[in-house]
Every structure is written in C-alpha cells, then in structure tokens.
Structure 1
Amino acid sequence: MVCVNENNREMVTSFIKEHWFTTEMVIRGDIIDMTRAEGIITLDEKENISGLITYMIKDSVCEITSLDSLQENRGTGTALIQEMIRLAEDKGCEKIVLVTTNDNINALRFYQKRGFDMVRIYRNALDKSRSLKPEIPLVGENDIPLKHEIEFELLLNQEKE
C-alpha cells in the first residue's frame, strides 16, 4: 500500500475519472474535489492501481470519501479499510465516518460486516446533490431509485496511556 502523494497523484486522478466519471463528489450537500483528497492505493503486479481509499480528517473525525476495489472478494477493500483504521488511530481520530447512497447494496453489506454502524439517513439528500451536480442519475445500482444518503460510523478504540 502506498499513500497518495505528488509522485502518483496524476495516476490517482486518472483512476478517479475513469471510475467516477468526474473528479467532484457531493457528500451531504458539499462538493469534494477528489483531486486534492488524501488517500491510500494498492497496486497490482503491473504497478496499476487496484484499489483506492480517499479520506479527509477534520478535528478528531476521519471521513472516508471513496473506496474502490477493482477485484472484489479478494481482500483489497478490507485491507484498505484496515489501513485506514490504523492511520486514523495514529492521527488521534475518535471515529471514522462515511456516506453512501441507498442503492449501493454492496457497500451497505461491506461496511456493516466490518463493524460500521448506520447512524443517520439523509432523506432525499440526492435532490440537493443534483442541484450541485446535475449528472447524478435518478436511478442507481440494481434499478433502485437514487434518493437518500446513509451515514456509517466506526468508533475507534483509543487506548489511554
């Protein structure tokens, strides 16, 4: 695993464009410039990106802004989450949060299996997001209407010395 840095930023930006079709993401009504996000990548045997997790840390909260694994069910996503937990704990974060959409059944399953709890639902949040980013579709994965954002949280165990 390698942290996103100036040497690989261009490759990461290309990866984001290829998989998200844009470098901007809307989360809870805020536009996030993914070209500036901190992150961690995994590389395949040809030195191409095989996984990416991006995040922001504010105060004592680490927010995951994206997670992509090109080969599902091979442990890449889990390894990135485990590294994110380690990094967040090292930086003194109390929790990790993330937002996904109601249509993303794979993400809902993935995060819950790794200890994340659903803590909030932002009903009809995608209406506001579409006003900022009109290309967000009305229908998402599995032909599910794309309407709500769901917030997950993982509380971190901070050992006191």
Structure 2
Amino acid sequence: MTLIRRIDASDWARLLPLLTDRWGAPYIVKHHTRFDLDGLPGLLATTRDGGLLGLLTWTDGADGEAELLTLDALTRRQGTGGTLLDAYLDRARPAGVRRVRVTVTNDQLTGLKLLQRRGFRIEAVRRGAVDAARAVKPQIPEVGEDGISLHDELDLCLGLAGADPTAGGGLR
C-alpha cells in the first residue's frame, strides 16, 4: 500500500541527495529560471514502514496558478507517479489552485502520457530551451530517456474545475 504525505523540513536531509542524484544538482532549470529544490513544498509516496517510493514538488504562483517542478518515481511503471499526481490534484482544487503548469523535456514520453491521461494539454513547445539551460546547468545530459537527444521543453497545463476561489490559490 502506498501512503502519501506532505514533505516536512525533517525530510530534506534524505531527499536532497536523492534529488541531486536524479537531477544532476540540487536545483533544476526550467524556462530560463533556476529553482532550488531544498525546502520546496511537496508530497512523498512511501511504504507503510516509511520506505521512499517517490516524490513530487511544486511552487505556488500568482492568481491561483501552480507549477509542478519535479515528479520522481523510484521504480518505473508501478503507479507511483500517477498516485502522487492524483494526490496533488485532489489537494490543489480545495486549496484554490485554478491552473497547474508543468514543463517536461522532449525525451520524457512516459511523463507526457501520464500528464495527458489526466487532462493536461500541451500549451507551448520551446525549441532549444534545454540546450540554452545547459549554459546555466552543465549537468543536463545531451541524451535523455530512451536514447533521445535532449533539446526542447514542452509546457503542459491543466485547468482545475471546481477549485475553491476563496481558498487563496496555493498549497503551501
């Protein structure tokens, strides 16, 4: 059974090395912006005995918009990513989040399928954005998942019907 809970300050000692390993540094670069991972709001997926299965982080923006920053399932195709994403969306609506944005790279085909199955729509393609991000973060590899050359960013968005407009627009 998968348990989902909020990330708290005491979790970051074990999460930051994991995220640094998976993302090449303790930060990510998306759409020309650097996001430090330490201390972000997020959700953890764990086993009953506390074993880590995955995590999702985000940032709350203005006017009820949020951006998902990382989604990591430690084992692929076990449902962890979908469980985390669904748990986030279930919490976001009553918190007043009206729109969720996520950026993926052109190699993340599994992530694209996961997002589109939940109603996310491609809103923009930024050709060469990953190439430009390497100037800020040289740890970004040239080749990504499934041997696909890594060059572009795709923005996907989801409007959340039924979001509570009086709730403030964030999950922090």
- For the criterion TM > 0.5, the same-fold answer is yes
Matched-pair contact (CA < 8 Å) for 1:4–1:12 = no
In structure 1, which of residues 141, 144, 154 is the aligned counterpart of residue 145 of structure 2? 141
Instruction: Please state if 1:53 is matched with 2:56.
Output: yes
Q: How has the CA–CA distance of structure 1 residues 55 and 29 changed in structure 2, closer, same or farther, with 3 Å as cutoff?
A: same
User: What is the distance in 2 between the residues matched to 1:135 and 1:72?
Assistant: 23
Q: CA deviation at 1:32?
A: 0.6
Instruction: Please state if 1:11 is matched with 2:14.
Output: yes
User: What is the distance in 1 between the residues matched to 2:141 and 2:65?
Assistant: 29
What are the Cα deviations for residues 16-73 of structure 1, in whole angstroms up to 9, with x where unaligned?
A: 1232232110010111101121100011244121110000011211100010112333
User: What is the distance in 2 between the residues matched to 1:80 and 1:144?
Assistant: 26
1:71-90 aligned at under 5 Å gives the runs 71-90=75-94
User: Which one-letter code corresponds to 1:65 in the other structure?
Assistant: L
Name stretches of at least 5 consecutive residues in structure 2 with no aligned partner. 166-172
Percent same amino acid among aligned pairs? 25
Name stretches of at least 5 consecutive residues in structure 1 with no aligned partner. none
RMSD: 1.7
Partner of 2:26: 23
User: What is the distance in 2 between the residues matched to 1:160 and 1:75?
Assistant: 28
| Segments ≥4 residues shifted beyond 6 Å | none
TM-score normalised to structure 1 length: 0.92
Give the total of aligned pairs.
Answer: 161
